[in-house]
Amino acid sequence: MPAPGDLLAGRYRIVAPLGSGGMATVHRARDERLERDVAVKILLPNHAGDPATAARFEREARSLAAASHPSVVAVFDVDAGDHAAGREPFFVMELCPGGSLATRMSGDRKLSPDELVPVLVSIADGLADLHRRGVVHRDVKPQNILFAPDRAKLADFGLALADEHEGLSELTAPGTAVGTLSYLAPEVLAGQRASAAADVYALGVVAFVGLTGELPRPAGSMAELVAASQTPARRASAVAPALGPAFDDVIAAALAPDPADRPDALELATGLTSALGRWSRDGGAERRAAATAATAATAAASLPDTNEADEATTAMALPLGETARIPIEPIHHDPPPPARRPSAGVLLPAASLLAVVLVAALVLPRLGSLVGGGAAPGPSAPPSAGLASAPPSAGPSASASAGPSASPSVAASPSPDPALAALQKVDTAIAAAKGGPNGLKGKEARDLEALAGTVRRALAEGNRRAALDAARKLDKRISDVADKIGRDSAARLRAASSDLLDALGG
């Protein structure tokens, strides 16, 4: 496996590892030909000689390269490797510096609707485009939702299926399902082939978990999950009363046991946007703040007086959060009574003027400040963490719409945080100062990039005080290295750092 400093294909200089999984590792690298930072995903040596794994790896690269949507990570280059020569296959993607949604949801943390809904809308928009192309992702989950500076993106297509490539299904053995157990749709658990509706179900689970901190159908084993899969999911407001009922109908529709009763990806995006509007009008932010304060006070009052360790949390019988090939036995049920699909009044068609206004007013202005990430992404599993960012987009792309099911897309541009804009100038100045006899050396550049990443992560978490502290450290480090580099580069770095401090009120 490559180490920092190694050069792949005479072009990609490995900088540092970003994450690893059972099939591959992901590294931050520098494209020395185009002078930009990228992510390189490399198949593990013990898998390079396995035809099925190699085919899955190749399929992921091909699916990503064909997607070409701003809400899907983009592929720049693919190298088939040479197993006989000990050179593993790899592909190169844009770097997504903000980490994964799983990191933001760690510790069963509940996200505010105005933080989560723009993320879900972006991913739904990308899914809609994939579904129109006949591609089913099959592993939508928080670990595979990554953050570029401008929006959330869908990553890791190792399990994707394309209708026009039926041969790809041969990589899944008969009598098995692939995916992450707690995000698998009921019909997939019952042995059916995954469809676009299964991706919508998985995104509905992401919405439920993100807003409530719990699974919609909690279970400690696969048998319990399968048994519960044909029953209605819990209402989100029943699990998180402070949330209110605004999101109950749209999430329940996405989690419907019958795939025919679920909205498509664009309808889900529109329904979530409409629900966010109702939540805001109903004083949801104030309810959430009051509930959070009450919870914190209760927790503080109940802290034990001793230093005894807390009891370990109950372990799941199965690793429900891991992607796996899962043995299944087809299950049979009496036909359920006919269920009416949620009316347009519940989900609001995407072409509705109200949906367009709500997207413009509620979702798009938040993408710049809520979706922005840091320069040093945390790993995700599978190892697509920190992968890619497509060119900035004002919001859910209009390319993901066709006919009356138009994407919730408008011409309005998000209002970025001035600190993020200033931080982008710092990133540009650091990149421009690299290389040459009078440029930043490797350690100096990595120090500055790491500090800039700390600023970005603090901004993404809404902690401006921590961002200011990190920006001051960055400014000091710039002063330390300024005398060692060219005058013009030093001037750009100092000016960008000064602008960043001003934007943060420092």
Radius of gyration of the chain (CA): 23
How many CA atoms within 13 Å lie on the side-chain side of 4?
A: 8
Question: How many C-beta neighbours within 10 Å does residue 499 have?
Answer: 18
Which of these, 165, 192, 198, 163, lies nearest to 176 by C-alpha position? 192
Buried b (16+ CB within 10 A) or exposed e, 333-347: eeeeeeeeebeeebb
Kindly tell me the burial class for residue 252, based on how many C-beta atoms sit within 10 Å of its own C-beta (0-12, 13-18, 19 or more): buried
Nearest alpha carbon to residue 367 among 316, 327, 420:
420
d(CA 122, CA 195): 20
Amino acid at 267: E
Catalytic residues: 139
Distance CA 450, CA 444 (A): 10
Please answer whether residues 500 and 455 qualify as being in contact, where contact means their C-beta atoms are separated by less than 8 angstroms: yes
Please say whether the beta carbons of 19 and 100 come within 8 A.
no
What 3-state class would DSSP assign to 25? Answer: strand
Q: Which DSSP state fits 178?
A: E
Q: How far is Cα 169 from Cα 165, in angstroms, rounded to an integer?
A: 8
Tokens of 442: 């490797």
